[in-house]
Structure 1
Amino acid sequence: MAPSRAAADGKLFGFNMFADAPRPLNTQYRCYSVSMLPGNERQDVERGGKIIMPPSALDQLSRLHILFPMLFKLTNKRTNRITHCGVLEFVADEGKVYLPYWMMHNLLLEEGDFIQIESISLPVATFSRFQPQSVDFLDITNPKAVLENGLRSFACLTTGDVIAIKYNQRIYELCVLETKPGPAVSIIECDMNVEFAPPVGYKEPERVKKPDEEMVVDPAELMPEPTGFVAFRGEGNRLDGKKRKDQASSSKTDVKVTYQRGVPDYNYKIGTLRFIRNSRPPSKE
């Protein structure tokens, strides 16, 4: 098929006027956990969301004109598990890639399994929602600051992943429940709102009723018994002198004094106690 007129004009002067669209990197590697990486222990890889790839991958990415930041889609074709990540270094042995343990656990990968790696472009994150996998996460004073510091080692987030954050010599796992504007987002140089769901196993504390809520005392019951004449406190009698039928079962009804609020002592001085006694003058006899 003959080349198009536009393509011919573009190459008329010995150079291509139309830049080729970037092609994605799509290849297979054997994956291993970071603990299998030769050399010193790499904790910076273990507590982040980036992988180590071989130098040949960098050569391919350069020839394919991949745009920065370099983000990748990882697929375990055996289980159809998918996640996304960034790249930290290109120092792995040829044909191998090294992943954080939590990433291999999410993808259900064993040491030496094949993994499909494809370069990809992701939208910038605007919102994410996490669920701690332990109630111990509630002991952290400022969880958002701890999460923000931990996410600095990540390049992207995928809905459904369980990521690991290290804080105070402890590993806290958080499930990514939701990300916006898509199920996978880039978190490099972004302004992202963060929310937390209740941790796994968390129960709302039961509301304990206070004693004053359980027993409400009527102020009239605290009033002293009435003294002196009280109207309608006596008992009725029959005119024929016979006993009433309900006399055995009848009982005296207690008449309660109407509750009245006391008058405050406006002359009271703080720090003084005043004892009031109803004393009678001694009899002269």
Structure 2
Amino acid sequence: MTTPTALIAEDEPLLAEGLKADLQVLWPELQVVAVVGDGPAAVTQALAWSPDVLFLDVRMPGITGIEAAAELAEEWPDGRPLPLVVFVTAYDEYALRAFDLAAVDYVLKPVRPDRLGQACERLRAALAARREASGLHPPAELDATLAQLRRLLERNSGAGAAPLTVIQASAGNAIHMVPVGDVLYFEAADKYVRVITADREHLIRTSLRELLPRLDDQRFWQVHRSTVVRADAIAAAHRDEAGKVTLTLRGHPDRLAVSRLYSQRFKAM
């Protein structure tokens, strides 16, 4: 039987070491392959090691544990089962009691051995079920994981500010006032966001994370961690034989990739 593996992402070294020590007692056969201290490192090392389980602190430098899990869901190679995720958090608003599915679990800080032991038992059972299914995640499990991550991202978005009606994009000494209704899509580009309209492109110095709460989520749909598209600018969604979804736009040649995290949105009514 393959030895189960785990990655711990926790920005407080003493807490990380404590969690690792508790796991050695509660789940001796679990091999912790990496311990990292920030969100981007969690993504990089998880892609490198392909662990069976991720223990992710919710509030970490760089990106949150929730954002790291979502990024991994998008970047994870086809044919490999996604890691099972346990969020570790001191903030009860992130508790996952609303989700009765085994794909994602949580433990609160300070981590109690009895609660961690319950999480370990659920993880053992989920990994055993995967082994019986020839090592691949069943479609229902994958759909449940992606649905939970989408809902957690929505809860963590900081929504509530008044929706933007105009984008102010500087170009040299000018500031262009771009009506939000003219924007076909937004795309993250390093420290900027590309603002694409039917006839030109603008750059704004903000992050997509900061921009998202200011957009009407009924009108603008996130379809990838780096892309938000105006829903009524979408002409069609095309699904290839591998299940990957690509969008075509009305009156514009660009094609937009949809990540697996958001592909569920594009189903016939």
- TM-score under structure 1 normalisation? 0.22
More strand by share: 2
Look at both structures and tell me which one has the larger radius of gyration over its CA atoms: 1
